[in-house]
Amino acid sequence: MQEALLRAKPAVALVVAEVGSEVLVTCGGRGEKVVRPAPFRETGTGWFVSPSGWMITNAHVVSPAHRPPAWVADQQARRAVREACGELPPGTLAATAARARVKLDPSISVILSNGIRLTPTVSKYSPPGTGQSMSGRDLALLKLETADMPTLSLADSANAQIGDKLHVLGFPGVVLSHELLNASAKVEASVTSGAISGFKQDVTNQPVIQTDAPAAWGNSGGPAVSSRGEVLGVLTFVSDAGTDEGGIVQGFNFVIPSAAVREFLKGADVPLDEPSRFNTAWHAGLSAYFSGDYARAEKHFAEANRLIPELPDVRRLAAEAKNPPPKPFPWAAVAAVVTALSLGGYAGMWGFYWRRNRYRIRPSEVMRLLETSRERPIILDVRDAATYAKSPVRIPDARHITPRELETGVTALKIEPTRVVVAYCT
């Protein structure tokens, strides 16, 4: 899972739609004044679908800068009036803003996780909720002048099932505006996780995927990836509370399926199968890193860093590969060795026991031989003299020979080679 998400993160970038303005305001008898109020800014998320600079995001993310609505000009005029004329009654404010002449300066920026800012053009645009026949709805295709970018591949959303794991990558506003994070941390994508919780239709009867993965404003346009790191869809509008207070309702967010993204890309000449040299190096480095081959991983990470310098994940893993963590104690190998030695010890003990007792015979077998054999076995009682003298046990037809007599050969035994000999001792 960690490797799949690390493969996906570099392909995700922050999208900023900004509308600056120059407003000519007339404040009563004070004459005209040129004011440049704080720009309107919309942030969202985009991701590269092709290494030659093709990026997917939501249409509503870039809409204020691509097709500035009338309310943006009115908002900028009101800001300029407040700045130039101070606080006015609502009626006077509206009238003064209506007379102001507003010149808008819209722009769209894409900020990579290494902080590099690029300027895209909108190549294809499908506004949300218009009832158009375009199946892409709330999607925009951006083109950046770049090459060898990290990319994400599209999964087949038709195979998705309720309960499948799903991970949303993006730039939630709560992170972008958090006072405890530095600037570099704010442009690195965050990951939230959940599962597919339903398959629904939007107001134009287009299919959408419902997920309980947490999301907030700023996540719009971000990829929702499977556990394999492939894009199942694009996050669209997040659900709010529907009250005057607003607020995000978690657990009820919606994703445009990847099948709709493929349909949206038709006719746009986007090479979905174009190879990315960054992906090749980055994926190979991750594979080597997670298999423990840190030296090979370091080489691949260096190549990825050469293609796109200073991406946070590449920089962090390259440092870890250069100074790998100490290897954990090989408990499994030690356990295997101990088990093998134990089995070997038991096998040796069993072999010694078998060798020592391979000619041992039970008393019942002796009785059987005495009763059934044509040639009765020769019974030798080889207890030492003292034990033999004290013991009341006597074996019928047995011949007593002491161990000393056997060792010194004092007693000669004439026994046919075919006869069975049974020795008894204590």
DSSP 16-27: EEEEEEEEEEE-
- Structure pTM? 0.71
Q: How far apart (Å, rounded) are the C-alpha atoms in residues 136 and 166?
A: 21
In the structure, what pLDDT confidence band is assigned to residue 305 with cuts at 50, 70 and 90? Answer: very high
Is 211 in contact with 254 (CB distance < 8 Å)? yes
Considering the chain, what percentage of its residues have pLDDT values greater than 90? 48
Q: Give the mean model confidence (pLDDT) for residues 43-64.
A: 94
Neighbouring C-beta atoms of residue 118, cutoff 10 Å: 17
Q: Give the C-alpha separation, 385 to 404, whole Å.
A: 9
Dihedral sign of CA atoms 368, 369, 374, 376 in order: negative
Residue 321 confidence (pLDDT) above 50: yes
- Apex 257 CA angle, 254 and 261, nearest 5: 125
Q: What pLDDT, in 10s, does the model give residues 156-190?
A: 988 889 999 999 999 887 666 655 566 666 678 88
Of the candidate ranges 116-125, 133-142, 272-281, 350-359, the one whose mean pLDDT is the lowest: 133-142
Do you know the residue count of the chain?
A: 426
Among 7-16, 343-352, 389-398, where is mean pLDDT lowest? Answer: 389-398
In the predicted model, what is the mean pLDDT of residues 267-288? Answer: 93
Say how far apart CA 404 and CA 36 lie, in whole Å.
122
Question: From CA 252, how far away is CA 176, in angstroms rounded?
Answer: 22
